[in-house]
């Protein structure tokens, strides 16, 4: 019979303990969790990006409600425990809900410290600790303009930055002379202040607040030096206090926090454990994620009876990004009189590094601006490494390789395998590299999902990028770091992430919110228009001003300024009536050339711009998209219907697929082919998505290219039915739409992402395949209502030369 395990608190440390317990023995406990908040477990460290608008509440959820259900955990959200009845081994919530336990974990975290300054109870005075606090700040920013933040630590600075993003003027009040004085020395603190002031943040340092003024709502602050400050909102970010009230009322011994032994058991009751910011171990209540996750592992080890592994405390480092600036510190970085200190200062470059040594061993480190070597220094500090031979090059590169400089690739390559790169989650370099190689990972997001590295505070994100670069080479560099164009510093992935997180649905909105340097160019505007339509298919409209002339006209402009019109001929298969109608249109509009194209279609060349809308109406045929980043053709052979070698009906399948997919915009042009037998007359093995009929089914080949740089396809899979072909085709193409970069063909995309990772999503994982295909169907439903024909006449009103020049500029750019 399973033992009953109850946990009070649904935060990061507690749920990590549950995860570790499930890993150690998934069938040992019947688990019940009570959380005071109305949300499942979320990353509290990422509240600042939520406030700044860089991410959403949904994106910081660590464990969705489905995760609890999948692990048979009873979750009570929004239910605060009011009483622990230790004698009956039972907990009771404020709404009367009860739960019995054999073992209890108290993981109630901490509360923001609200300084009891006269007036602290006024409206508009708040802490910054949870999602509700973010919501309150969002609402305040709609009505008020001036904010003050008491506390110049990480939380205070990030709160101020978030309020600035909401349009408020933000002033940080700090009682010390140095910002982040627990993590930075005076030099680094001053550099940080200068950088933040350059971003518009204001400061009052070495200042004590004596009174909060105003009637019912805060209107201002008074300070000990006699000065004052007007404000409409006051955020207290002056530290946290362990939330131990419930434990204390239950007779559990508390001091600074809930006192626990080396096995995370409360010293009062061995059946009750405590973990996280509420727990005090050997006189210390930790506030950083890394030691709390270490505690979680020890708790799981103990409670599942794995042995007597104990917790001896944590040596911590801090690697953070504050409002775009990297800082790192560890150990005794101040250094007293006569200390052996090595420093590097580059004020212009915004880099400062300081190492404190004792007997040629690192005792402390503080870094500002360039923190890539931080984890290596921390590892050497923990190992007691003698660095005397590296002294002259130590601050230029932790590898000590001199001419190698301190490039990210060299640092990651030189880093020892056992170096911890993510202190929050205890992930080593070897863990990351193994995941990249074995799982075919190519992005930081995938690494985080697989290993949890960079999933908590995010301070090691840059280092994860470096390891990806050193492991994958240029494949990662291209996908992660190259800006879209000179109008922005953001790369394709960053832009897509911002469009999604901030729900940006117009091109001009993207450029405004993301601080575009210019009004956009022929490279970025079409890319933004594509990304918006791909991400928000139901909530956005096509921006005609961001399309090239060909896509506006639904025709290809030729060298004489006339156009070619190429309607869709599904699978190259047509009938006599259609041919007659096309001939009649050609006569009516005096078409100069009628050409059978390489894509098994019929092109009409030499059509005047003013006639385009009329030509399309008279043809009464679907548009062939022969000009755009869209599905061009689905080439077919006659297959088993006519061919004596045919093993499958390639024509019917090709026509069906083309009708399913013919209204889709892609990152670049896409071509399909279906051959009825391995003789491959439709040339499926040089197409983006190729299908070949074989005995008993279909062979699916992907990632080919028949253009300037010919590339053969790779085998994706073998399937038995046409329905499977259709679903896999939709899933593959939607995955390409979502992760491809604008103007990136399938072949380089497949090389970058990796065939195995694609296969895992669109072939092996049936649920993922289905979901991707469904997302494409949602997009297609919207495209079916696209009034493209009605728009041609309006777009044709543009002056001739302007259209021609626009086309030439854009197309020449793409060709090169």
If you average pLDDT over residues 509-534, what whole number do you get?
Answer: 85
Closest alpha carbon to 178 in 193, 163, 165, 156: 193
| Known binding-site positions | 637, 643, 677, 681
The pLDDT of residue 520: 75
The pLDDT of residue 221: 97
Q: Could you report the per-residue pLDDT of 420-433, keeping only the tens digit for each?
A: 788 767 788 888 99
Measured distance between the N- and C-terminal CA atoms of the chain, rounded to whole angstroms:
69
**Contact of 549 with 803, CB cutoff 8 Å:** yes
The pLDDT of residue 560: 74
Phi and psi at residue 659, in whole multiples of 5°?
Answer: -70, -30
The pLDDT of residue 812: 24
Q: Which residues of 432-463 are buried (b: 16+ CB within 10 A; e: fewer)?
A: bbebbeebbbbbbebbbebbbbbbbbbbbbbb
Closest alpha carbon to 171 in 195, 144, 199, 203: 203
If you average pLDDT over residues 12-31, what whole number do you get?
Answer: 96
**Contact of 387 with 379, CB cutoff 8 Å:** no
Helices (H), 549-609: 549-553, 576-588
In CATH terms, is domain 631-783 a member of 3.20.20.70? no
Least confident range of 338-352, 365-379, 539-553, 556-570: 539-553
| Known binding-site positions for siroheme | 681
If you average pLDDT over residues 620-640, what whole number do you get?
Answer: 89
If you average pLDDT over residues 315-340, what whole number do you get?
Answer: 82
The pLDDT of residue 458: 66
Where is pLDDT greater, at 524 or 256? 256
Phi and psi at residue 543, in whole multiples of 5°?
Answer: -90, 100
Encoding tokens for residue 752?
Answer: 């970058």
Residue 265 pLDDT more than 90?
Answer: yes
Return residue ranges of the chain for CATH 3.30.413.10. 631-783
**Contact of 372 with 406, CB cutoff 8 Å:** yes
Closest alpha carbon to 599 in 561, 557, 627, 640: 627
Return residue ranges of the chain for CATH 3.50.50.60. 3-110+242-303, 125-238
Residue 662 pLDDT more than 90?
Answer: no
If you average pLDDT over residues 204-212, what whole number do you get?
Answer: 97
**Contact of 113 with 240, CB cutoff 8 Å:** yes
Where is pLDDT greater, at 734 or 289? 734
pLDDT-derived band at 787, boundaries 50, 70, 90: low
Encoding tokens for residue 132?
Answer: 């509700």
Axis-axis angle for helices 131-143, 154-165 (nearest 10): 40
If you average pLDDT over residues 198-223, what whole number do you get?
Answer: 95
The pLDDT of residue 457: 64
Closest alpha carbon to 269 in 87, 139, 35, 484: 87
Return residue ranges of the chain for CATH 3.90.480.10. 550-619
The pLDDT of residue 769: 94
The pLDDT of residue 809: 30
Q: What is the CA radius of gyration of the chain?
A: 31
- Which CATH number fits the domain 3-110+242-303, given the four candidates 3.40.605.10, 3.50.50.60, 3.40.50.11540, 2.40.50.140? 3.50.50.60
The pLDDT of residue 335: 84
Angle, CA of 544, 547 and 551, to the nearest 5°: 100
If you average pLDDT over residues 16-35, what whole number do you get?
Answer: 96
SS3 of 407, please?
coil
**pTM, whole model, 2 decimals?**
0.58
Place of tokens 């992005």: 443
- Which CATH number fits the domain 550-619, given the four candidates 3.90.480.10, 1.20.950.20, 3.30.360.10, 3.90.45.10? 3.90.480.10
Q: Could you report the per-residue pLDDT of 581-590, keeping only the tens digit for each?
A: 999 999 999 9
If you average pLDDT over residues 49-78, what whole number do you get?
Answer: 90
Helices (H), 694-799: 722-739, 746-753, 755-759, 766-783, 788-795
Stated as kind and residue range, the H or E segment containing 563 is strand 563-565
Axis-axis angle for helices 461-472, 444-451 (nearest 10): 110
The pLDDT of residue 412: 65
SS3 of 214, please?
coil
For 125-238, which CATH class? alpha beta
Residue 808 pLDDT more than 70?
Answer: no
The pLDDT of residue 25: 95
pLDDT-derived band at 404, boundaries 50, 70, 90: very low
Sort 799 into a burial class: Cβ within 10 Å, 0-12 / 13-18 / 19+: exposed
pLDDT-derived band at 815, boundaries 50, 70, 90: very low
**Contact of 258 with 280, CB cutoff 8 Å:** yes
The CATH T-level fold of domain 318-479 is Enolase-like; domain 1 (3.30.390)
Where is pLDDT greater, at 770 or 790? 770
> How many residues are listed for the chain in this entry?
816
Sign, Cα dihedral of 263, 268, 270, 273 = negative
Q: Could you report the per-residue pLDDT of 154-172, keeping only the tens digit for each?
A: 889 989 988 998 889 999 9
**Contact of 501 with 746, CB cutoff 8 Å:** no
**Contact of 792 with 563, CB cutoff 8 Å:** no
Residue 321 pLDDT more than 80?
Answer: no
Residue 479 pLDDT more than 90?
Answer: no
DSSP line for 657-717: HHHHHTT-B-SS-EEEEEESSTT-TT-GGGSSEEEEEETTEEEEEE--B-SSS-B--EEEE
**Contact of 376 with 353, CB cutoff 8 Å:** no
**Contact of 43 with 62, CB cutoff 8 Å:** yes
| Nearest-angstrom CA–CA distance, 109 and 272 | 16
H helix and E strand count, the chain: 27, 36
Q: What is the mean pLDDT of the chain?
A: 87
CB atoms within 10 A of CB 796: 19
Closest alpha carbon to 527 in 170, 223, 814: 814
């Amino acid at each position: 019979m399973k033992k009953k395990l109850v946990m009070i608190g649904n935060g990061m440390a507690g749920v990590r303990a549950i995860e570790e317990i499930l890993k150690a023995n998934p069938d040992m406990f019947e688990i019940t969790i009570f959380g005071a908040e109305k949300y499942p477990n979320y990353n509290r460290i990422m509240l600042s990006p939520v406030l700044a608008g860089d991410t959403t509440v949904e994106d910081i959820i660590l464990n969705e409600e489905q995760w609890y259900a999948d692990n048979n955990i009873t979750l009570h959200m929004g239910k605060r425990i009011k009483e622990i009845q230790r004698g009956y081994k039972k907990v009771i919530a404020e709404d009367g809900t009860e739960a019995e336990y054999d073992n209890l974990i108290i993981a109630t975290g901490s509360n923001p410290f609200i300084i009891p300054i006269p007036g602290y109870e006024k409206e508009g005075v708040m802490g910054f600790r949870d999602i509700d606090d973010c919501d309150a700040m969002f609402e305040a920013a709609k009505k008020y303009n001036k904010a003050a933040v008491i506390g110049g630590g990480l939380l205070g600075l990030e709160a101020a930055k978030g309020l600035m993003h909401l349009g408020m003027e933000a002033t940080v009040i700090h009682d010390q002379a140095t910002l982040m004085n627990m993590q930075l020395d005076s030099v680094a603190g001053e550099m940080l202040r200068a950088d933040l002031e350059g971003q518009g943040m204001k400061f009052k340092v070495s200042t004590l607040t004596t009174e909060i003024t105003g009637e019912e709502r805060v209107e201002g602050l008074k300070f000990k030096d006699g000065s004052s400050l007007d404000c409409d909102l006051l955020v207290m970010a002056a530290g946290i206090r362990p939330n131990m009230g419930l434990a204390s009322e239950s007779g559990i011994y508390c001091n600074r926090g809930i006192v626990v032994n080396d096995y995370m058991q409360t010293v009062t009751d061995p059946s009750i454990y405590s973990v996280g910011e509420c727990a005090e171990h050997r006189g210390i209540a930790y506030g950083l994620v890394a030691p709390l996750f270490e505690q979680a592992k020890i708790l799981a080890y103990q409670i599942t009876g794995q042995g007597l592994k104990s917790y001896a405390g944590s040596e911590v480092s801090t690697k953070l990004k504050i409002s775009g600036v990297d800082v790192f510190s560890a150990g005794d970085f101040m250094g007293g009189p006569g200390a052996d200190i090595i420093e590097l200062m580059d004020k212009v470059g915004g880099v400062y590094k300081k190492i404190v040594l004792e007997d040629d061993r690192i005792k402390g480190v503080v870094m500002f601006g360039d923190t890539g070597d931080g984890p290596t220094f921390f590892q050497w500090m923990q190992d007691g490494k003698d660095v005397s031979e590296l002294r002259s090059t130590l601050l230029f590169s932790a590898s000590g390789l001199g001419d190698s400089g301190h490039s990210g690739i060299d640092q990651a390559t030189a880093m020892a395998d056992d170096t911890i790169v993510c202190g929050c989650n205890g992930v080593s370099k070897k863990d990351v590299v193994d995941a990249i190689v074995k799982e075919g990972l190519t992005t930081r997001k995938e690494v985080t999902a697989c290993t949890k590295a960079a999933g908590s505070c995010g301070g090691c994100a840059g280092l994860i990028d470096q390891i990806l670069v050193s492991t994958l080479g240029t494949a990662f560099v291209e996908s992660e770091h190259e800006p879209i164009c000179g109008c922005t510093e953001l790369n394709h992935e960053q832009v897509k992430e911002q469009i999604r997180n901030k729900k940006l649905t117009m091109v001009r909105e993207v450029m405004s919110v993301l601080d575009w340097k210019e009004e956009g160019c022929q490279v970025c505007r079409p890319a933004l228009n594509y990304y918006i339509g791909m991400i928000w298919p139901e909530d956005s409209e096509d921006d005609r001003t961001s399309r090239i002339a060909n896509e506006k006209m639904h025709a290809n402009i030729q060298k004489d300024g006339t156009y070619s019109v190429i309607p869709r001929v599904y699978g190259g298969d047509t009938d006599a009536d259609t041919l007659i109608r096309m001939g009649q249109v050609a006569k009516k509009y005096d078409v100069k050339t009628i050409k059978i194209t390489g894509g098994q279609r019929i092109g009409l060349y030499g059509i005047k711009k003013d006639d385009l809308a009329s030509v399309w109406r008279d043809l009464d045929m679907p548009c062939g998209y022969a000009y755009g980043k869209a599905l061009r053709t689905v080439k077919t052979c006659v297959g088993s219907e006519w061919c004596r070698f045919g093993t499958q009906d390639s024509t019917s399948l090709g026509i069906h697929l083309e009708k399913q997919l013919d209204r889709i915009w892609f990152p670049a042009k896409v071509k399909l082919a279906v051959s009825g037998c391995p003789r491959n007359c439709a040339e499926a093995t040089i197409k983006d998505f190729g299908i070949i009929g074989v005995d008993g089914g279909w062979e699916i080949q992907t990632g080919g290219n028949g253009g300037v740089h010919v590339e053969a396809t790779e085998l994706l899979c073998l399937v038995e039915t046409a329905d499977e072909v259709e679903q896999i085709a939709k899933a593959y193409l939607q995955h390409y739409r979502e992760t491809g970069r604008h103007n990136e063909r399938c072949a380089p995309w497949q090389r970058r992402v990796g065939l195995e990772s694609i296969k895992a999503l669109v072939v092996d994982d049936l649920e993922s395949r289905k979901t991707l295909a469904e997302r494409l169907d949602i997009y297609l439903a919207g495209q079916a209502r696209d009034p493209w024909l009605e728009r041609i006449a309006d777009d044709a009103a543009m002056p001739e030369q302007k259209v021609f020049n626009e086309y030439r500029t854009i197309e020449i750019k793409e060709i090169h």
